[in-house]
Structure 1
Amino acid sequence: MKTNESDISVKIKINDSSLLPARQTVGSAGYDLSACLKDKTSILIQPQEVSLIPTGISVEIPIGYEMQVRPRSGLSSKNKLIVINSPGTIDSDYRGEIFVPIMNLGDKDFEVTHGMRIAQILLARTETIDWKIVTSLDNTDRSAGGFGSSGTH
């Protein structure tokens, strides 16, 4: 449901036990994704292990947009959990269930439970590129200086 003129409608399919992605505050950019474990009580992620956490939702992203999957800062800083391909991209033509690949960088097992907020999603505009093949590029102060060439501070 659109609440103002800048809102974009996105179709979402949820199963009976999944939670709708939700912003936690009016100023939140991202919508929190929750784990949907259906018949499981939890998923244990051991140190240095990656687990694909199901969310129970599928979306129909409008053409010209992508959905980015990002870590939740509190979950990352307090528990050393990261979304390994962050930011992950969900393309506009993908219609399957969204899974979140979470890696435990800590030294203790981490238990993901049903309904736990595990990541956040943002809708972002994308552009198509019209590649122009040239024989040279304009020079800049940095030019081909490489990574770190703009200074250390």
Structure 2
Amino acid sequence: MSLYNVQFKRLPGNEDIQIPQKMSAAASGFDLYAAITEPIKVLPGERLLVPTGLTLAMPNGLEAQIRPRSGLALKHGITALNSPGTIDADYRGEIKVLLINHGSEDFMIHRNERVAQMVFQIVPHVELMEVEELTETERGSGGFGHTGTQ
């Protein structure tokens, strides 16, 4: 198993914000916390960008994916809208989470509340090659719903 060193920095005014952490030894995601100055009400159908107060520096060949928290999705209909959101290795700005309320009730977000999780993935080096023809497969060009009956 490889070890990748990822640096993070808390932005000024966010010294009290929890650092990203795994909630169990086998968890794949690091929880991210809201770095808001006052509680925010998210109305049903509303979306908003939630700051985390953190910046990252990770080595080339990694990406950070921002994903929803399953508990917020199940209990309140709160999810990450562009899931997974991608943080590239060369990005040094603040990590923010785009949330949406798919629930039927208002939802309050408080400072230091867990709002998403961050999972690191290896990004393979890929070279795209334009060709005249592609290899054939049994599936061919069958698209959405093509492999199942429902």
- Other-structure match for 1:30: 29
1:30 partner letter: G
Match of 2:70 among 63, 73, 79: 73
- Other-structure match for 1:9: 5
Question: Greater CA deviation, 132-141 or 64-73?
Answer: 132-141
How far is 1:100 from its partner? 0.4
- Other-structure match for 1:84: 81
What are structure 1's unaligned runs of at least 5 residues? none
- Other-structure match for 2:49: 52
Match of 1:110 among 100, 107, 110: 107
How far is 1:147 from its partner? 1.6
Q: Distance in 2 between the 1:65 and 1:114 partners?
A: 29
What are structure 2's unaligned runs of at least 5 residues? none
- The TM-score normalised by the length of structure 1 is 0.91
How far is 1:150 from its partner? 1.2
Give yes or no for contact 1:19–1:36 (8 Å, CA) kept in 2. no
Q: Percent identity between the aligned chains?
A: 39
- Other-structure match for 2:138: 141
- The TM-score normalised by the length of structure 2 is 0.93
1:27 partner letter: A
Root-mean-square deviation over aligned CA pairs: 1.2
Report the number of matched residues.
147
Q: Distance in 1 between the 2:119 and 2:112 partners?
A: 19
Q: Which aligned runs of 4 or more in structure 1 are off by greater than 2 angstroms?
A: none
How far is 1:49 from its partner? 0.4
How far is 1:20 from its partner? 0.5
1:18 to 2:17 alignment: yes
